[in-house]
Amino acid sequence: MATRTDSEDRNLVQRIDAWLGEDMSPRRALGVYLVLGLYFAFLLLPVIYMALVSFTSQDFLFSSELIPSLGDLTLANYETVLSRGDFRTYFMNSMIVATSTTLLVLTVGILAGYSMSRFDYPGRNGLLYAFLSTQMLPIVLILIPFYILMFSLDLVDSLLGIVIAHSVIGIPLGTWLLKGYIDDIPESLDEAAKMDGCSHLSIIRRIILPLAMPGIAVAGFYTFILSWNDFLLVSILSQTAGTRTLPFGLQLFQAQNTVAWNLLIAAAVITMAPVILLFAVAQKWVVEGLASGGMKGN
């Protein structure tokens, strides 16, 4: 079987760049943008419409109208949702758990990624593949063993237990991502820093962190979403309302035979708003990290 050479790969990249760049004819460019526009409209239109109807009443949702008028818009849904004490508790729990998990995963991931990138020790490659293999197992397989372990540590029904559970899921892939990105930072910078008297921790703080910021943003964003959206692990580790998170908050607006759709939609918009805001803040680093190799995981 024929294998691709480096020159063939470069030619392929150059052809793609030319196709997407200045060599593209106006007609072809219009077609590309039209396809991309339809694709993103397919993805975003339901989300935009959900945000729009979250400002309407229950009566509008069951009417035959599709687009609400200005007279139909109201903030009553958000006032009702935010006035519920349990929902505010769930929101704060989600913020605490997702932020703590992200900080813990990034701290461990940066140190482990730097170690695996810069030091050669027995079992390093095996450990890397072990990290990757953990992503191939469905989480449901570890639920019962995980609950028994947390119960023995007296961490059931505590935010610390949920943070540890999410970190166990996030650290392997976070380490793999960060190790791949740190590999792209020249080791000559480390050597130069050592000659200036820097320790390994100082090298990480002064050299690795600034240069690996796009990769750190990718790993942090992935971890935050993983923790923010998790329902399964929280469902077994949380026993009371004091430790539940926002995915449970959406159930507050469902009764046995009825669903308050207007309140449920408003709660869903509030649930996804922090993730959108986080991406808006870290967009530059996340896009740069995804584009320049943060996902390759050497």
Q: Using CA atoms in the order 277, 283, 289, 294, what is the torsion angle rounded to 10 degrees? A: 20
State both tokens at 96: 């605490």
How far apart CA 217 and CA 110 sit, in angstroms, is: 12
pTM of the entire predicted model: 0.80
All domains of the chain in start order, with CATH: 26-73 (no CATH), 86-292 (1.10.3720.10)
153 within 8 A of 237, measured Cβ to Cβ: no
Q: Which pLDDT does position 94 carry in this prediction?
A: 94
How far apart CA 53 and CA 265 sit, in angstroms, is: 8
Winning range, highest mean pLDDT, from 17-21, 217-221, 282-286: 217-221
Single-letter code of the amino acid located at 174? G
Tell me: pLDDT of 125 over 90: no
Per-residue pLDDT tens for 73-93?
889 999 999 888 888 999 999
Single-letter code of the amino acid located at 34? L
111 within 8 A of 212, measured Cβ to Cβ: no
Per-residue pLDDT tens for 240-267?
888 899 988 888 888 777 888 888 999 9
Single-letter code of the amino acid located at 122? P
Per-residue pLDDT tens for 138-187?
888 888 888 999 999 999 999 999 999 999 999 998 998 898 889 888 88
- Average pLDDT value for residue range 185-200: 88
State both tokens at 100: 């703590």
Q: How far apart are the first and last CA of the chain?
A: 25
- Average pLDDT value for residue range 217-238: 91
- Average pLDDT value for residue range 103-110: 95
- Of 115, 31, 87, the closest CA to residue 244 belongs to 87
- The mean predicted confidence, pLDDT, of the chain is 84
Q: Which pLDDT does position 1 carry in this prediction?
A: 41
DSSP designation for 204: I
